[in-house]
Each structure stands twice: as structure tokens, then as C-alpha cells.
Structure 1
């Protein structure tokens, strides 16, 4: 057991799968450096405490009704987070205050709070309680750096975008194209601006930003983040390279896909997952299905409950589609993604390009087919296809012919081989960052020492 250093860190994740995973991975990293861990969490999407017996878990009320908790949370994520930000402030403050009062009776000192940049009230609470607060960004540094300018882009006449300008670059936000902006800014329009401004302002008042990234992926953006926010920056990722995310999954993982993969040829399988939040239509589901079937490549496809709103799984499929899938594919409601991507049979990943999934794919050297849903996924997919050139961008086209073409190009075409070669180089570069003496490894040591010095 690791030696304790007499200090405790309080962590407070945003209650979404893509935010809980990195926070618990960071908790494991800090625990391995001697810190004790207390995790405050909401009732909604509460993590499984039994999977982390060395941590203390404290649940606070989030003010959501049973109806709100049971309905599909992916239908309007921004609205859900806005409600929880209002409802959770007082319970969080009371919980944190009690912990600070109790520490005088304990042998450990509470050294800091680490929470997600999506919490808007925690900086003010930490200042009132005189507790240093670090911000965890589950996005690329490049995306967080754009928060100050996103409201300005709306006023510059970029939207709506004409077909003739769709592929033009957004000079203020490279490597985005103008057609990407509508799905970054979303349908919330100007309602998003106060959230962005508050996040920027509270982050600038924090004690530092922790990124689940590394210098090898975005060195210039990390330097710029320090200049924009004027606080210390710690690029300590990819977190999953140190500790797996499997034990923090909110979904039950179907392990049967692993023995199925064992029976497939090397690098022959395309893995398909659009993450925990993205929604598609029944028509989109059908187009993806036929694109995969017609590609003639074996595939593992995650069709989670709620992927198609109101559907629990494959019930929208026709009998013909089900029969065709059974001949060549394997469908699961949720997969042990890191294990799947690491499997020798997997040669490609059709992904929504959430930052967690993008990092996991890079670390396993699996080239991607990019089908982003929105928000930071648009930026991640541009880096994959246009900057690192380790994937193929579908440009939002959910059409069976386009999907079939992309799968065949990546898996058996000459262009796919070149992509795979570039991905192997990127994999090696990022892999070095987490080894002893690498950039990420050094940043973790710097973060731990910085917390100890507070």
C-alpha cells in the first residue's frame, strides 16, 4: 500500500460519464502519490463507491425530481447541467464546510479542491472557505482556450454558413471550418454565453488547470492556456494510461465482445461507438447499419439505451438488418472500450470523437473514422483528420455509401495503410509522455509537489 502523505484532496466531478471517468482516474493518480481522496458527487449519475474502496464518497442532493432523473439525460445536457448548477450549490457548500470543520479532529489536512470546469459556483465557495481550487478540463486545451472567443464568433456573421463558405477556415479558431461552428455553438445560442464567460472568469481565479492531455499532442495550446488564464497549467494525461476507466463506468459492460473478437482476424474489425451522450435518429441508425453491413468488414457496435431517443437497443432494426448483422457483426449495449481498442483484431474506430475516446484510440494506435456530434467533438475530429491525419472525417454525412466507403478505405485501402503508419508514430510519441521522465509523468510530479506546497 502506498505511503500516505498526510494530505487529503476533495474531488467533485460533473455527473456525466465522460467527466466522471477522468476525475476518478485523476483520483487514482493522486492516491498513488500519497494523497487521501474524498469524492463529493450528486445523486444523479452517482459513481459506484464499491469499485473504489480506498476513497471516501459523499453524496449531495441535486434537486432533480425522480422524473428528471429517470428521463433520458442526453436529450438536453446543457439544460440538465444548468439545473444541477443551481440546485447543488448550497448542499455542496455545506458538505465542504463540514469536511473542513472535521479536519481539526483528523490527522490529515485538506489541501485543495479539484472540480470540473463545468461547475460554475465552486470557485466562489472555495474562496469563501479559503480552500485552493484546481480546475479539471476534460477537453483539449485548444478547446478551453476558445471559451473567451466563442461568444464573439456569433457576432462576426459566421452563422448561418453558406454552402460556398462551408469549408473555409475559422481564422480565430483553427483548425475548425465554418460548417463546424453551428454544432459547436449548438441550438442554445446566446444562452451559452453566460456559461462560457463564467467558466473563463472562475478559471482565471483558480489555483491552476489540470488537462488530460500532454505536450506531445498540444504543446502550443498548453502554453497559450497559461497566457490566457494566467494560472499554472498541468498537462497530466492521458489519464487512462495510468489507471483504467472500466471501474468507473456508469453502464454495465458487455464482456462477451472480447471472446467474439478473439475469433476474428488481426486488424479486421471496425469498432463503432458514439459515446454516452450523442443521440441519432432511427434513419441514422439504419444508415450506419447498412454501411457497416455493406462494407463486408466484421464489426463490434455499441448501441446503448437512448442512442436513438426512446429506444433501449436494437428494436428499431428490421428483421433483415438483424439477420445481416448476426452474419458479420456483434452488437452490445456498452463495451469495455479500452480492452476492445487494445485487442489485436480491432483495426479501426468509428467514433464521435469525445476527448476520452480520441485519447484511448491514439494510445492503442487505432485509426479513426470521425462522426462528431457537437461541442468539442468538432475540434477533436478536425485534429484527427486534418492536423494529425490519423483518421477519416465523414463531415456529418450519415449515409450508408459514405460509411461503407470510409470503412473500406480505412480497413483495406492503401490510404488506410498510410493513416495507420501515422497513427503508430503518434501512438509512440504519446506513449513516451507517460513513461518515467516523460512530459506527462513530470507534470504529475509537479502537480503533486504543488499541492503539497499549498
Structure 2
């Protein structure tokens, strides 16, 4: 009896990257009877295993094993906010040899490696060891396409983008397919850096190395980003659009104990009972993700805007969300009292369940890709306040390309927050409401039998099985000599 294919997955060590890759691991484990090795950094490995129901997880996915490598940072390092970029360089230098050693030590040689697009040192390791590699970019197809044009943006003088410059609304014309959409202010946050910045050069190098992979996996669906997916097919012979991954998993494995199991932060599910007591589509959900931080002033402006809108809100406030927070004594009493009447504040929410709840009518978001895709699938219009990485691009796509929300980019004052909350919660932007319903339907269609994403996952499984079969055939031929 032949051994099952063995797939190694390596995400970048951040919540937004780990989640879709772990969901993919579960789908491969379920759909293809594969042996899976999921490699986290030691820091996140322990956080993840502490929060998941390991016995239930193991029963459902008995051939999925978790392993870890160091990330090169001290345990005290925050790994959030601006300091998250330290992981770019520590993983490249420290994690690369550790990953190679781990691959060599595995009892079963990997059939292939699926590596995060910004952990592309795995491509070097795979090439050295003769293992096929597939890259997984956890951004949208649109943002992935933009990252392949960073050098061109430098050559055209679009980088660095100078914050506050009067030309911030000048359109970018050098990226095919986005000539009439993208402005300077919509470029990824790294484009504000000088051309020779190590961080910007890191991303340019990562994009270049990605092209050596045999295929590209994206957590998106064909109907949402067809033009950009077509462009990416000029670089990669195969592009597997397989999202929304979270909904695909839930449709295939109903009531799975693995639901929400990829969170690195403990969830407070008490907010669901609070939502149960609210009117349909009456609540604004607010979350700024797992990495970005707010100043105390920004925090207060958002809070005043929410309270002044008069709309009930559920706000997930991480303990490390406010960079200069000095405790509740610095919060005006009027905000505290108003929030007791109309708000629910938790440290972290079960976001998929929240967005699917009938009481949610809008989402004030940082525009991370997972959050954006989950909101589209749930049919919840967004108010976007992006800060880092791909978030600027996502917010522009939400407001101008897909028209499923409003863009609050580069401003943070209570009156604007109040206005946009009212616009979304009172259905004042008819085009947004209509597009939200349409794209939610397309997302749902994509994950069902016969849908684009459902088909692409099946194709990925079959392609990995084919790689495995070819390897077995080659080994048998070698053994016969």
C-alpha cells in the first residue's frame, strides 16, 4: 500500500497569514487523505496549541501534525504594530536553516511544500532538496499583482509616496488593469518608504522568488477578481483561487470543532448573547485586527464617532491595541456611560460568527484581507480604515472596484466616523447595499459543488496526488536498476 502524499505548509508568523494556511491544511487533510505537517514559529506554535481543542482537532484531522522552528526574536518581542517588520529579517536569517533541518529530519519526504509568499526562503530550501514548491499569497489577487510592480513604481517615481502631499490623489497608470482605479494614497504602506529601504527591497525580493514556484494559491474567488487573476496567470502557469477558505471549510465540514481554531488570541463569546438581544442589522461591528495599533487620540476619535452616531456597536479591543494607553482613568466618563447603554466591548470576538449574525449591519474594519473576505461572504457592508501592508489596496477595492463599502483612509475624526457609520447603518448608499448582496451571493456560489473555489480545491488535491504518483514512479524506476 502506497504512503499518502505528504504536504508541508509554512505560513508567515502572523494571525492573518496563519489562519488561511491552517484552513487550507485542514481542507487538504480532509479532502485528499494527505499527511500534513504545519510549521509555525515556536512563539505561535505554543499560542495556537494552547487555544485549540487538541483532542477534537486530532480526531477530525489525525494526519495533521504541528511542528515549529524559531523565529529569531526574544519571547518578549511584541511582534505587533511597527515592530512586526522585525520578523521579515529574523525569519530570513534564523528560520531558513532551521526549516531546512526540519525538512531533512522528517520521517517522510514531502511531496511538496506550500510556502507563504513572504517566507520564500522556503523556495531556496525546496530547490536545494529537489522538492516541488507552491506559493500561497495571503493577500488579494489585486494586491499580489501590485507587489509584482514595485520596481516599476520606483522607476516611474511613484515611490516614495509622501504622506500629506497634494498629489496623493494622482492616479497610478503604470500597473496594467488598475490605471483608472488606484491612486498614490491607495498603494501598499511600504510604498511610503525610500526606494532603497530594506523593507521595500525585502518585498521586491519576495515577489521575485515567488515566481520560481510551480503554482500560486490565493484566498479569493474567481468572480470577485477575474481581471487580476488573469494577469497573474501570465506569471504563474497555475493559479488556484480557493476562497473564501473559511466558508469553504465550514461548507465541507459542518460544525467542525476546528471552526475559529486558527486564532492566536482567546475569544470572548459572550458577545454573541448580547447580539442575540439586538434588532436585525442594527449593530456595527468594530475590529482593527490582530497587528495594528491605535494612538490614544485615534482611539478616542473612533469612540466618540461611534457614540455620536447613536448606533449600537460591538467593539473588539485587544489588550495591546492602544499604543500609549494609560488605563480607564483617561477615558471620559461620558463615553463610558454611553457605551454601557449602546455598546458591547470585548477583548477579541469570534469574528466569523459575529459577521454571520443577523444583528450585524456594518463592519468598521482595518481592511485586512481575511476580514474583508469574511465580510463580503457575510454580506456586511464595510467602513475601511487601513493602516499597513495590503490594507490600503483592499480598502480601495472595497469602495471603488467592488463597491461593498466606504473608505475612511487617511482620516480619523469623530464627525467623519459618525457620518460614515450613519451612511452604512441607515442604508444611505444604495449602490453599496446592492453590490454587497450581489458579491455575497457570488461568494456563496463559489464554494458549493460546481463553484469555482470548490473546483480549484479539488484540482489542487488532484495535482498534488499527481506529483506524488510521479515521485513514486521515479523511485520505483531507480530501485529497479
1:14 matched to which residue of 2?
12
The secondary structure found in structure 1 opposite 2:111 is strand
1:123 matched to which residue of 2?
123
1:434 matched to which residue of 2?
447
Return closer, same or farther for 1:186/1:251 CA change in 2, 3 Å cut-off: farther
Q: How far apart are 1:267 and its partner, in Å?
A: 0.4
Distance in 1 between residues matched to 2:80 and 2:280, nearest whole Å: 37
Return closer, same or farther for 1:29/1:188 CA change in 2, 3 Å cut-off: farther
Distance in 1 between residues matched to 2:326 and 2:291, nearest whole Å: 14
1:183 matched to which residue of 2?
189
Kindly indicate whether the alpha-carbon contact (under 8 Å) linking 1:304 and 1:312 is maintained by their aligned counterparts in 2. Answer: no
Kindly indicate whether the alpha-carbon contact (under 8 Å) linking 1:215 and 1:235 is maintained by their aligned counterparts in 2. Answer: yes
2:199 matched to which residue of 1?
192
Distance in 2 between residues matched to 1:268 and 1:410, nearest whole Å: 11
User: Any residues of structure 2 matched to 1:146-295 within 5 Å, and which?
Assistant: 146-158=146-158, 159-160=161-162, 163-173=165-175, 174=178, 175-181=181-187, 183-187=189-193, 190-227=197-234, 229-243=235-249, 246-295=260-309
TM-score by length of 1: 0.92
CA RMSD in angstroms comes to 2.0
The secondary structure found in structure 1 opposite 2:38 is strand
Distance in 2 between residues matched to 1:261 and 1:274, nearest whole Å: 19
Distance in 1 between residues matched to 2:13 and 2:163, nearest whole Å: 34
1:346 matched to which residue of 2?
360
Kindly indicate whether the alpha-carbon contact (under 8 Å) linking 1:212 and 1:239 is maintained by their aligned counterparts in 2. Answer: yes
User: Any residues of structure 2 matched to 1:64-83 within 5 Å, and which?
Assistant: 64-68=73-77, 71=78, 73-83=80-90
Return closer, same or farther for 1:305/1:224 CA change in 2, 3 Å cut-off: same
User: Any residues of structure 2 matched to 1:38-49 within 5 Å, and which?
Assistant: 38-46=37-45, 47-48=48-49
Q: How far apart are 1:418 and its partner, in Å?
A: 3.9
The secondary structure found in structure 1 opposite 2:118 is coil
Distance in 2 between residues matched to 1:253 and 1:315, nearest whole Å: 25
Kindly indicate whether the alpha-carbon contact (under 8 Å) linking 1:370 and 1:391 is maintained by their aligned counterparts in 2. Answer: yes
TM-score by length of 2: 0.87
Q: How far apart are 1:82 and its partner, in Å?
A: 1.4
Q: How far apart are 1:75 and its partner, in Å?
A: 3.1
Unaligned runs of 5+ in 1: 104-108
The secondary structure found in structure 2 opposite 1:254 is coil
Greater CA drift, 436-445 or 34-43: 34-43
Return closer, same or farther for 1:312/1:87 CA change in 2, 3 Å cut-off: farther
The secondary structure found in structure 1 opposite 2:43 is coil
Distance in 2 between residues matched to 1:172 and 1:312, nearest whole Å: 45
**Could you give the per-residue CA deviations for residues 316-341 of structure 1, whole angstroms, max 9, x where no partner exists?**
52333212211110111100000000
Aligned residues: 440
Distance in 2 between residues matched to 1:193 and 1:287, nearest whole Å: 31
**Could you give the per-residue CA deviations for residues 117-163 of structure 1, whole angstroms, max 9, x where no partner exists?**
11131111011111111111100112112223213323433333675
User: Any residues of structure 2 matched to 1:377-416 within 5 Å, and which?
Assistant: 377-415=391-429
Q: How far apart are 1:198 and its partner, in Å?
A: 2.1
Kindly indicate whether the alpha-carbon contact (under 8 Å) linking 2:145 and 2:231 is maintained by their aligned counterparts in 1. Answer: yes
Greater CA drift, 273-282 or 305-314: 305-314
The secondary structure found in structure 2 opposite 1:84 is helix
2:114 matched to which residue of 1?
114
Return closer, same or farther for 1:188/1:346 CA change in 2, 3 Å cut-off: farther
Distance in 1 between residues matched to 2:166 and 2:71, nearest whole Å: 46
**Could you give the per-residue CA deviations for residues 210-256 of structure 1, whole angstroms, max 9, x where no partner exists?**
000111111121121120x2332111111001236511100010111
